[in-house]
């Protein structure tokens, strides 16, 4: 059976935001941890040029040695690349490890064997990865899946727009829901359009995404706002639960709409999420 990271109630740990920081910019590590991001991921992959990979890995290892905690993780290089062996050894100091271009559950199981103390966040960012996303999401130690929209669009030759990527996003969200783990959306490449960030994050939330990655600290607040239940959603959920309870578990009506058990269950989940977010104690990799 897959070993997932869940809270005592059986729900995935509530992570809403993850901030990437380049591993070759150690002067930014402290500032990243000082932000409101739920997780901070030191990146050894895309943001680091080949001739700086070793220095970035050493910078991460040195920083993680004196900054233990469940917010700090690392994205290693591809599991079939030249740097992965040294990366995996260094990654043992991380609370969580992001694995790029995940394409099979077997590869994740092997990585988990090396990184047993760390939780895993595989990136689904290729056509092959999407084909196997269900087994990736169900692999041992996986806390959530990050949809790598930029690499995925390049791999399949589609535009980096909502409609061409809708199928892939939906597959990731459903696979994560089935595995009872979190689905994290790709970061926005626009560092200035805050309203666009909030709007696109809300669209991802409607598909079932529960978190989103950030590539700049200024994006964190927009991601949190986009993912947070709105006051109208909370009020509606409260009315649904009250109506269903008043009907003693039978079908009920609210504002001309039928309320049955699945609708009430969804409302209860939303309210439970609000309580957990307000409590603030359920933050982890």
Residue 13 makes CB contacts below 8 A (sequence gap 6+) with 5, 6, 7, 143, 182, 282, 283, 284, 285
Q: Where exactly does CATH 3.20.20.60 map onto the chain?
A: 17-227
DSSP annotation of 66 reads H
Round to whole Å and give the CA distance between 120 and 108.
8
Helix, strand and coil content of the chain, in percent to the nearest 5, comes to: 50, 15, 35
Round to whole Å and give the CA distance between 216 and 214.
6
CATH 3.20.20.60 given to domain 17-227? yes
Q: For 12, phi and psi rounded to 5 degrees?
A: -60, 145
Round to whole Å and give the CA distance between 40 and 31.
10
Q: For 158, phi and psi rounded to 5 degrees?
A: -105, 170
Round to whole Å and give the CA distance between 133 and 29.
31
pLDDT tens across the length of the chain (285 residues): 233 333 333 444 579 999 999 999 999 999 999 999 999 999 999 999 999 999 999 999 999 999 988 899 999 998 777 888 899 999 999 999 999 999 999 999 988 888 877 899 999 999 999 999 999 999 999 999 999 999 999 999 999 999 999 999 999 999 999 999 999 999 999 999 999 999 999 999 999 999 999 999 999 999 999 998 877 777 777 878 887 778 887 777 878 788 888 888 778 777 877 777 677 545 545
- In the chain, how many H helices and how many E strands? 12, 10
Q: How many CB atoms lie within 10 A of CB 261?
A: 11
Q: For 252, phi and psi rounded to 5 degrees?
A: -130, 170
What pLDDT score does 206 carry? 93
């Amino acid at each position: 059976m897959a070993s997932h990271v869940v809270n005592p109630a059986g729900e995935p740990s509530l992570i809403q935001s993850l901030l990437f920081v380049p591993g070759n910019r150690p002067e930014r590590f402290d500032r990243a941890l000082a932000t409101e991001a739920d997780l901070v991921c030191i990146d050894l992959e895309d943001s680091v040029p080949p001739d700086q990979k070793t220095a970035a890995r050493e910078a991460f290892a040195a920083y993680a040695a004196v900054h233990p905690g469940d917010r700090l993780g690392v994205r290693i290089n591809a599991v079939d690349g030249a740097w992965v062996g040294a990366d995996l050894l260094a990654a043992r100091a991380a609370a969580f490890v992001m694995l790029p271009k995940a394409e099979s559950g077997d590869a994740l199981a092997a990585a988990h064997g090396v990184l047993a103390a760390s939780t895993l966040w595989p990136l689904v960012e290729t056509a092959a990865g999407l084909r196997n996303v269900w087994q990736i999401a169900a692999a041992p130690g996986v806390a959530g899946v990050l949809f790598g929209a930029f690499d995925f669009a390049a791999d399949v030759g589609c535009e980096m727009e909502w409609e061409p990527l809708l199928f892939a996003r939906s597959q990731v969200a459903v696979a994560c829901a089935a595995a009872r783990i979190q689905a994290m959306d790709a970061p926005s490449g626009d560092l200035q359009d805050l309203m666009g960030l909030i709007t696109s994050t809300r669209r991802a939330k409607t598909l079932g995404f529960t978190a989103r990655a950030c590539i700049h600290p200024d994006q964190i607040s927009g991601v949190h706002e986009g993912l947070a239940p709105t006051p109208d959603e909370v009020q509606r959920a409260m009315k649904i639960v009250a109506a269903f309870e008043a009907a003693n578990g039978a079908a009920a009506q609210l504002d001309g709409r039928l309320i049955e058990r699945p609708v009430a269950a969804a409302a209860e989940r939303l309210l439970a999420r609000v309580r957990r977010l307000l409590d603030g104690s359920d933050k982890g990799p």
